[in-house]
Structure 1
């Protein structure tokens, strides 16, 4: 038996084999050697394989099969490489119907349900070394189906050969203490065994899990864990691929199952990578859609080197746009949470001397007015911004102050504004008009209380309140700023006094109603509060 064929397997090892023996089982070699142009002028043939599945070890298994006249011991350990080799070498029925390696390996796969967990995981790891042919031949899908079947039916109990303790979910973007309390419910015994898989196999694995309707929260936690473990030890190119695939897979899950804090972790870790625009857009859209769950520290993302400001304000604006576009404006509760969060963010960025007025205005106007019940925080942020940017013209300052809803300013803030020289004088006038409206409404409320209780309300407080309203109507709004501020301060005091009166009257009315219910003989009159 001669060795007339030299085979270079992936540059790993060179084998000298009998051409006829291997050709009798391999359609690939048979087609190659039956070409006259190949064999006519060459006595000693050489074949070079660059992508032989399983490398030199798998080729040796193939030669043993061929030299043993198509007999081999097929086990869970070698089923995967032999199956892929058989497909690669085209060992079909047309070449050898009786001793067909593809049929033998497929027969072994029929018993995959009886393989141990480590044997099945090991077969999956083998697939990643020759992913393309393992995927196209169908063996990868069968192994994944077997693994998923065990994961979805095993619950919290680890199958034989796998240790729940060694597979514990030791990382997430949540805290360690949180993870330890959740461990018993997150079915994470298999996480540790599968983090060694490359990104191609993990992508296929997760797509299969989604198709089989595995709990998205379990999938999400695994992806965050996988990302952390793989990212830490990967080279730059692999980091890019792992990050992009992780983001793409998380984007395929229900938003409610994906941790907002975890997404911010990926954003922070991947900031130095050159991710595709599509990938970054997906990440930002996911974060934006649940920005109401974020905290201030999440938003304090440093600006890129090309931007002068301290924080990446453009990023936050994109988050807010995504939030509103994804239905955030439909829930008043969520909208107000974002409003409160943005008030905190504004307080952080307002002292930044490099923050351009246009960007500051974009931040203050990014949410609809209903997102805030009170504009005190907006006022304080603008106050800090104008203090740092004292060089701005009155026109620029007015543009910045335009966002303030004076009706939503507390009396204390209006009083502070009246004395605040950093604000344009026109803003004091607007505050005065707003307080005029507040006084009018308060007196209307008071009159309604009078009418309801049928008790004449006389006295100094109410009369002076009415006089204040009349005086405000006659007030010349073009008067000097200092005089205007003085009157405004007086108005503030009246507003606060009337607010106290109204609250007191409402309390008395409530008590009186209760008394009347329990004792109908009590006269229906209210106490005289304005004496």
Structure 2
């Protein structure tokens, strides 16, 4: 109510509306703002000069320049009034957004997904305008993630924010324990970005490296306990333990000679392994199943406490339904991969799944069949190990035996010197009715299968062909009872090693039955065509 029609303040222009003065006494003043406000952010008062003043507090950020802003960036409830030239020269992301709206002198964007939010973006703005920013161990990780989000690389401007933040990040990570912990804590707010940019991995490697270089396992356990107390994510704790364990394993040397020094070393290794198992975070997904398998193998070698071994084995078993074949690969000295530890874990899973109606055993069945196909080509894999894994799962774990048949056939092909008894044991879990027609046809001609399995499959195929012929109305003379007798006698002979001549004759009979079925199907089609022809009287 100063009388001016327009009032300029910083970069804003206000158009004033005045009314005649009211008579003495109480009066009201009303005015309209362009946007809704919270009454708690409004303060009104008469100044000493008698001018009524209303101040509205809003979350607007202005860069103090004489040039009007032509770019507004909104991050949730905060607005940044900026200048295109300063921002797009450093940010590839903003550059694209601005030029997609080519021709607009005044541009406004809503960006809510920037890592670190408005607080970190304010630091980015200061950097773009050439101002000094205060980077700390608590904000450097979100700042680095935000720089990547905004694509602030050196291709746009030499010494851009990505390279600056990365240099500071590396310095801080290697400088002290406390700063590394602060960085890890700050990663929780930008977890996905910090994981993709390997910030968490670098921190955990630094912590593990410092722990390894300082003292042994006792000091490392203290470090892990400190990390847990500071509320660091379980995944980070698990990564630290896995990285430290990997380095520790590479330093283990076990001699075949028995001596006091060797016994003391084994005792120390056993204690270290037990400490590592005890300190593992219990949260799901905090450590990988592959790492736990490696740790389980060390526990078996060092003969750790039975309760700890069973606890570790049970934990891995509970993770099997979410595992891939890659998760089960553990290198071995005599074979390419250690199959025996996988057998133990699968057996533990079957024991748990039998009492859990929600278990998805067929998922584990498919996983193990794929694993069998991978290890089948190992020339040094003994039949006992392969057989144990094939038979570790019950028959109900597989809807189809096609993958199992392929794995077994591959193993038999790579190991031609197996005894007949070994081949029978490996093949005993295969069921004829769970094989597809292609797999059955292949199995009937497969000389690598043991004689009893081939004989059984041939007889079952014979029974199926007979049933098809009987249901189709063939003149085939064998009765159902005769078929069953033939099947029973065939099984009896298979137990006494049926001769190759008998098997050949059975195959010929099956081929004859198939030919008769084909002929019947052709006749049926011909009859259907004839019935469709029009009849004229």
Q: Normalization by structure 1: what TM-score?
A: 0.47
- Which of structures 1 and 2 has the larger relative contact order (alpha carbons within 8 angstroms, sep 6+)? 1
TM-score (norm 2): 0.46
Q: Which has the higher helix share?
A: 1
